[in-house]
Structure 1
Amino acid sequence: MWAAHVTTTAARALPDEYTLDHLDHLESEAIHIFREVAGEFERPVILFSGGKDSVVMVHLALKAFAPAPLPFALLHVDTGHNFPEVLTYRDETVERLGVRLVVAHVQDYIDDGRLRERPDGTRNPLQTVPLLDGIEANKFDAVFGGGRRDEEKARAKERVFSLRDSFGAWDPRRQRPELWDLYNGKHAPGEHVRVFPLSNWTELDVWRYIEREGIELPDLYYAHEREVFARDGMWLSAGEWGGPKPTEEVQTRQVRYRTVGDMSCTGAVDSEATDVAGVILELAASRLTERGATRADDRMSGAAMEDRKKQGYF
């Protein structure tokens, strides 16, 4: 009883600089995961698209190994329909950090017949084969992804270390327990592990961390005037992917993007949030996940994401 009292009293006496808030805990967990992977695997890589989650991942990885340079390469699957602003941001970041960027181009697979263009013009589902080929060709054995459990029900099933078989497929029944933050990276030759340092983060956590750390993002994450058209309840950007149809009216609206991906399936939302603080206020009042509100590819079926993950999607 006395020992418990002493422990409690000592804990209360700790100065503020020795206590961790919610973001500190999330940051500490993610940094621990990056260091675990660096110790367990030979050739890890970070999936980096220039989107906010991958940007936060790179920021955390830099913190994990500072003052040393980033010890991982970056990998991006370019659909050919990515937002130009995001590609510019990606390339500027790679140049600033002096890291190796591996780009797998979906267009190359369409050109040589390995993949076929979809009738709806959406290329997001076509990313799986170039991704798996890029992992195999470069012998990456651990692949960091920015997936979060709050995004979508299939991603909520993921462990932090997610084993993929020799075909890159995900089997929920092979998920390993992760008690006490102990991660099992064991894998057979030809297999690899997907790693999700942001699993326990929410979209709001990500934005609060961006605010706290002063992280710069592509401008399309903030409200700006853009030519868009309505389709399936979303505002889509016109582009070479095939939109809009003759019956779809193009309008100039003030919008922002909650997530970025293939232009053909990533919708914008009406917004007045021109800075990080404004985005946080909007999110605090929202009841829709970013993928549920703005990603058409997740609406194909109730199990769309899970089906793609079983085939090797991130």
Structure 2
Amino acid sequence: MTAVTAPEERDNPYALSHLDALESEGVHIFREVAGEFERPVILFSGGKDSIVMLHLALKAFAPAPVPFALLHVDTGHNFPEVIEYRDRVVAQHGLRLHVASVQEFIDSGQLKERPDGTRNPLQTVPLLHAIESQRFDAVFGGGRRDEEKARAKERVFSLRDEFGGWDPRRQRPELWQLYNGRHAPGEHVRVFPLSNWTELDVWQYIAREKIELPAIYYAHERTVFSRSGMWLAPGDWGGPVRDEQVEQRKVRYRTVGDMSCTGAVESDADSIEKVIAEIAASRLTERGATRADDKLSEAAMEDRKREGYF
């Protein structure tokens, strides 16, 4: 697919392309955090946004290794293909990986299994425990403003209080890409290098950089069942139940999270060019179309963010 050239790029041959400008901003953010904080960590789930984020980090510090560890909050209900990809990437680049296990918190009685089987809302406690116990003072996340209206309120540097909570009223101005990482003991900062990217930007960058993704992002035959208008994957998390019928469908995933709340979309997009064309024509955001945890209420994401979620 041929990229459209903006008028200013045609008039000025030295101007950065749209993707180059986004990449430059992301690299700058990683280097800024390296200079301001003592113990940053990158949240890495094996989803496309965290993969692009890691790619930017590798570019930011090459040829030196990435100076940050990775952190994955493992719900125990992850897609096997994504976990396999995560472990392979960690080994390939010699990275350090911390895993915060939701299952361990359930087994110890610190968390209780939900009746609907979804564990996505249970990630906050293990996440905050890992941040506190490992003394992480900056935590990179792959959130983008186009995903959801609560995320659209975030700054690139998002201050969190000593309980991990987010208060929109405490956000700081970020004029001219100047970021204020000052925080009190016990507080930390969430950092979003992809804030200004869109889903289409992410996919066009993946195509340009030839970044490998887990295969579930492309159309494939899969066993699924329908619930609340979404195609979910059966599994130990509790689906299907009652009259829910399992069937084979050609689907792909636009976003990847807990199997119990991440829906697939019917699609024939089995190549990156077809995915880009499909996204360009879509009028639904990826989370709005495929994430059941965001359908609980109009303020579901914002409520979780105030408690410490991303």
The answer to whether TM tops 0.5 is yes
Q: Do structure 1's residue 143 and structure 2's residue 139 form an aligned pair?
A: yes
Provide the residue aligned with 1:165 in structure 2.
Answer: 161
Mapped to 2, the partners of 1:80 and 1:12 lie a distance apart of: 49
Partner SS, residue 194 of structure 1: strand
Pairing partner for 1:67 from 48, 63, 76: 63
Cα shift readout 1:101-138 (whole Å, capped 9, x = no counterpart): 00000000001100000000010000000000001111
Provide the residue aligned with 1:89 in structure 2.
Answer: 85
Q: Do structure 1's residue 195 and structure 2's residue 191 form an aligned pair?
A: yes
Pairing partner for 1:52 from 48, 52, 55: 48
Aligned residues: 302
Provide the residue aligned with 1:206 in structure 2.
Answer: 202
Cα shift readout 1:149-197 (whole Å, capped 9, x = no counterpart): 0000000000000000000000000000001110000000000000000
User: How far off is 1:19 after superposition?
Assistant: 2.3
Unaligned runs of 5+ in 2: 1-8
Structure 1 residue runs of 4 or more that deviate by more than 6 Å after TM superposition: none
Q: TM-score, normalised by structure 2?
A: 0.96
Provide the residue aligned with 1:30 in structure 2.
Answer: 26
Q: TM-score, normalised by structure 1?
A: 0.95
Provide the residue aligned with 2:252 in structure 1.
Answer: 256
Partner SS, residue 162 of structure 1: strand
Cα shift readout 1:248-298 (whole Å, capped 9, x = no counterpart): 010100000000000000000000011111100000100000000000000
- Aligned partner letter, 2:83: L
Q: Do structure 1's residue 134 and structure 2's residue 130 form an aligned pair?
A: yes
Pairing partner for 2:219 from 223, 226, 235: 223
- Aligned partner letter, 2:151: R
Unaligned runs of 5+ in 1: 1-10
User: How far off is 1:246 after superposition?
Assistant: 2.6
Query: Aligned residues: percent identity?
Result: 77
Partner SS, residue 305 of structure 1: helix
Pairing partner for 2:266 from 266, 270, 276: 270
Mapped to 2, the partners of 1:300 and 1:12 lie a distance apart of: 46
- Aligned partner letter, 2:18: H
- Aligned partner letter, 2:293: D
Provide the residue aligned with 1:186 in structure 2.
Answer: 182
Distance change in 2, residues 1:19/1:121 (3 Å): same
Mapped to 1, the partners of 2:120 and 2:19 lie a distance apart of: 31
CA RMSD of aligned residues (A): 1.1
Q: Which has the larger radius of gyration?
A: 1
- Aligned partner letter, 2:294: D
Mapped to 2, the partners of 1:308 and 1:246 lie a distance apart of: 30
Provide the residue aligned with 1:4 in structure 2.
Answer: none
Cα shift readout 1:54-101 (whole Å, capped 9, x = no counterpart): 000000001011111111100000000000000000000000010100
Q: Do structure 1's residue 293 and structure 2's residue 283 form an aligned pair?
A: no
Partner SS, residue 244 of structure 2: coil
Partner SS, residue 67 of structure 1: coil
